[in-house]
Amino acid sequence: MELKKAAIVLNGFIHDFASGIWLAALLVIYKLHAAHLREPAATVLLNPLERLFFWWSVGAMVVIMATGAGRTFTYVDNWYGEDAEKVRRRMLIYKHVILLTAFSLGYLFIWGKVFH
């Protein structure tokens, strides 16, 4: 049972870490693209970096989805009490709708910067 608990905690850490990598990669792409617009001669160097960070972000998203699915199966019912759990579950739905929207908008925003 102790190993299972450690795996659940590790899964959560990996999920959060991958989320940070995803956001950081998109921000780096944004900054690299701005730099190559300011200095067109650097485009030859910066375009491959933009693509590298793009694919790292895709890998991070795959990890986020996989570990998020893992969280679904390790969820503990009524941890905070029945009333609080109803609110918590509703808030989790809202959070995931917002995050899926953010993922989609993030990639729509970044796609044109990476593959132009």
Q: Using one digit for the tens of pLDDT, what is the confidence trace for 27-63? A: 999 999 999 899 989 989 999 999 999 999 999 999 9
pTM of the predicted protein model: 0.80
> Using CA of residue 15, residue 18, residue 23, residue 26, what is the dihedral sign?
negative
Residue from 106, 114, 112, 107 nearest 46 by CA: 114
Does the pLDDT at position 76 exceed 70? no
Does the pLDDT at position 69 exceed 90? no
Question: What are the φ/ψ torsions at residue 8 (nearest 5 degrees)?
Answer: -65, -45
Q: How far is CA 25 from CA 46, 55, 86, in A?
A: 14, 9, 34
pLDDT confidence of residue 78? 63
